[in-house]
Structure 1
Amino acid sequence: MKAITGAVRIARREGLRALTQRAARLAYHRSGAWELDEPLPAADIADSASLRLPSPRTRPARSHPLTIGWVTTPPGAGSGGHTTLLRMVEAVERAGHRCVLFLTDRFDGDLADHTRVIREWWPQVRASVRDARQGITGVDAAVASSWESAHVLASRGTEPMHRLYFVQDYEPWFYARGAVHALAEDTYRFGFRTIALGEAVASALRDALDLEPEVTSFGCDTSVYRPLTGAERTGVVAYARPGVARRGFELTRLSLARFHTLRPDVPIHLYGDVVSGLPFPAVQHGRLTPTELNELYNTCVAGVAPSFTNISLVAEEMLAAGTVPVVNDSVYARADLPNPAVAWTRPTPDAFAQALADTLDHTEPDVAERAARTVRQDGWSRAQADVVRIIEDEVYGRVAEVAALRPDVAVRQ
């Protein structure tokens, strides 16, 4: 009876949504559903202290096309991190090599469904798709793409092969200091040849583990993200990813609520997840293709683009489309986005709201074109070339090394 009375009181005071949320939270803890937050089953967790993985004893000639495995979680439609990874896959395929995607799915999803998403959202990628649980086999090299996939590569890729690690973010930052943080950090001790995307990741690896990775740079697809002729810019825009701490949606929500009190006439647009219970009016677009997203950016003067680990790709894509991003200022963010057009500010709701308002107040007619011109124009070509070169050097051997060991072969190459 007491519980019913309490439930009625909550429903009257806060509404049915709040009551449902509290009931769900109670069921979550009592049912042990928190175990589903553990990213890996115990069988897939490797340990750097005892890891002994075989490497091939011979190297193929550089004229021999390679088979490269890529170990990854299943891509969601439009996922930014997966888009970056699959750009690298595409580059390796263009270089004449065969690729295989080994998917590691904590929740045992349907492989055919995952493959359909890949074909629909990344049609340029020709790689075959396999289940990593069946073993990571038949490849000259395999590339881990996240800390979870690094554990899976170490535990299931036990044949002789070369192993690499494409690191887009320093993933221990995703978690509180605890067991998962430690498991993520341990992957950088596995001995895989490491490719860091950007100086922020490289600095974190150096500082935390005294590891010196290969480093490549961010890119921006300026063939998609660009100012459109005749675009009328009236609004502000934000990426909605509740529950992903590094994307700072809690800050975005509070900032936009306060911005709405400052500029109630300015339209607010959200894309990504559809969010209920917002304390301000918003046009929610859900998931958008890159072309659709560029069209949305071209209706906006400014955007909210916080990121609390590595810099979000969203910030530079907004700039390329002529939208000024408001970004929380940090040494890590500036390391990979040294751009004078960014509206850098403190990560507080009032600071973000005021930065948005100031951007709208001081926008000049040509601001979109000027912002777009500040963006690097070589797309992802440098990163793609670096990844291809590093993988080939790892498998074939560096040209200088081959020349020292077999001068006749090096000359022919």
Structure 2
Amino acid sequence: MNASILEAARIEMARRSRQLGGILATDGYQGLINRARTKAADWLRPSNLVWPVFPEDVIAADLSRPPLIRVRRAEPGDPILVNWVMSPPSAGSGGHTTIFRILNYLQRHGYRNRIYFYDTYGSDLKYYENIVREYYGFTSEIGDMRNGMPDADAVIATAWPSAYAVYNARSAGKRFYFVQDYEPYFHPVSSSSVFAENTYRMRFHGIAAGRWLAEKLTQDFGMQADFFPFGCDSARYRRDPSSARSGVAFYARFGTPRRAVELGLLALELFAKRHPHVELHLFGQKLGRLPFKFINHGSTTPDRLNEIYNRCFAGLSLSLTNVSLVPYEMLASGCIPIVNDAENNRMVLDNPYIQYAQPTPHALVGALEAAMCRPDFETLSIQGAGSVSATSWETAGAIVDDVLRRALSSSPEP
């Protein structure tokens, strides 16, 4: 018995020794450190994680028996009252930036907006209230969804966890769903993906970012959905004719896997071998060692990002769900976006200066090379920037305004 235990231990030690030797030979000591940190993180991570939605809200949401919601009817001349239910925003959050662009447009055009935080993590909501006021410039009422919310003309969910709170709330107000992406794709096939998918069955009126998402919600779930077009902040992102272009840009943040970070990094590894003289600008988060030389910008500001784009011929902007804001922002700076070829991207962007490639490293590299080596690149860059100069968030705000007014005017009398 003891001999068999010792033999098993000897075999295991030999296996581990060969494994460590192989890691050391290929990845060096940093590879060993990274694996040790991953194991330590797995060991420290609690078995029961905090959900982004309160379990009691999922239980309370009986989709077979939708609640009867009173519709508050504003008096003539009164502002339209809107309750927005959202997660606490960080400064610069892409999704929240779009929400506040629309919200602030409505505020300037006579609406009265109120914000209610939906948070399961025990956050310091006073801290996030300060961000909303100082970074996003919001001056009206901010509350905690746990304390309920008063009646309004419209109540708007902004992500799948908040949709449960909006569904269960008993305050008056026609229900809307501000949908910026197909959120079931944010999760592996799991309870979370099902919870997210079920929110599209709550009979809210959808206000979707782009046509692809609106059509998907309508076709797959029978959801009534309008859409607004993507805008571009051309005051911040603009072409600098004096800037010397010598690089390629890529948004690389592992926290957003739908942006195909690993695929982009493999393409850049191949690109760097072919073009070692071309600068590679990575932004989104601070990255560790990669198998190629790059400039690590980490998380950066829009003004700094505009400078980066103006130093680049082209940039990778990959999206496996709804398209991001990056392609238009790159284009406004004269940087040609290389986008993975997919219906969700082509349908929304619809711009002849955006270049598409199949989602393989070699195809993406070929598209980068084709853009970089074009003899008429200067003309392409100028025309590309001009193509989005009139792509304003004011247009998007005006469309959302029209959607809300039409939907509220067609609601049945209380």
TM bucket, shorter chain: 0.7 to 0.9
1:78 to 78, 92, 109: 92
Residue 206 of structure 2: aligned partner: 194
Instruction: Check 1:142–1:298 CA distance in 2 against 1; reply closer, same or farther (3 A cut).
Output: same
Determine if contact 2:181/2:321 at 8 Å carries over to the other structure: yes
Q: How far 1:112 moved relative to its partner?
A: 2.3
Residue 285 of structure 1: aligned partner: 297
List, as ranges, runs of 4+ consecutive aligned residues in structure 1 with deviation greater than 4 Å: 1-11, 27-32
Output the amino acid matched with 1:222.
S
Unaligned runs of 5+ in 2: 1-8
Instruction: Check 1:87–1:361 CA distance in 2 against 1; reply closer, same or farther (3 A cut).
Output: same
The reply to whether residue 96 of structure 1 matches residue 110 of structure 2 is yes
Determine if contact 1:262/1:357 at 8 Å carries over to the other structure: no
The reply to whether residue 177 of structure 1 matches residue 180 of structure 2 is no
2:159 to 146, 149, 153: 146
Q: How far 1:29 moved relative to its partner?
A: 4.5
Q: How far 1:53 moved relative to its partner?
A: 3.0
Residue 230 of structure 1: aligned partner: 242
Residue 334 of structure 2: aligned partner: 322
Distance in 2 (CA, whole Å) between partners of 1:220 and 1:97 is 23
Determine if contact 2:287/2:298 at 8 Å carries over to the other structure: no
The reply to whether residue 40 of structure 1 matches residue 53 of structure 2 is yes
Q: How far 1:99 moved relative to its partner?
A: 1.6
Per the normalisation by structure 1, the TM-score is 0.88
The reply to whether residue 105 of structure 1 matches residue 119 of structure 2 is yes
Three-state SS of the structure 2 residue aligned to 1:196 is strand
Distance in 1 (CA, whole Å) between partners of 2:148 and 2:139 is 20
Instruction: Check 1:17–1:43 CA distance in 2 against 1; reply closer, same or farther (3 A cut).
Output: farther
Residue 409 of structure 1: aligned partner: none
The reply to whether residue 158 of structure 1 matches residue 170 of structure 2 is yes
Moved more, 195-204 or 100-109: 100-109
How many residues are matched?
Answer: 398
Q: How far 1:248 moved relative to its partner?
A: 0.8
Determine if contact 2:248/2:315 at 8 Å carries over to the other structure: yes
1:87 to 101, 106, 115: 101
Output the amino acid matched with 1:324.
I
Identity of aligned residues (%): 34
Unaligned runs of 5+ in 1: 406-413
Per the normalisation by structure 2, the TM-score is 0.88
CA deviations over 1:358-381 (Å, ceiling 9, x no partner)? 211115222221111222614012
Determine if contact 1:147/1:171 at 8 Å carries over to the other structure: yes
CA RMSD, 1 decimal = 2.5
2:352 to 313, 337, 340: 340
Determine if contact 2:24/2:31 at 8 Å carries over to the other structure: no
Distance in 2 (CA, whole Å) between partners of 1:325 and 1:229 is 18
Moved more, 297-306 or 25-34: 25-34
Three-state SS of the structure 2 residue aligned to 1:285 is strand
Three-state SS of the structure 2 residue aligned to 1:105 is coil
Determine if contact 1:227/1:298 at 8 Å carries over to the other structure: yes
Distance in 1 (CA, whole Å) between partners of 2:149 and 2:220 is 29
Residue 52 of structure 1: aligned partner: 66
Q: How far 1:9 moved relative to its partner?
A: 4.5
Residue 411 of structure 1: aligned partner: none
Note the 1:382-393 alignment, pairs <5 A: 382-393=395-406
Distance in 2 (CA, whole Å) between partners of 1:214 and 1:386 is 9
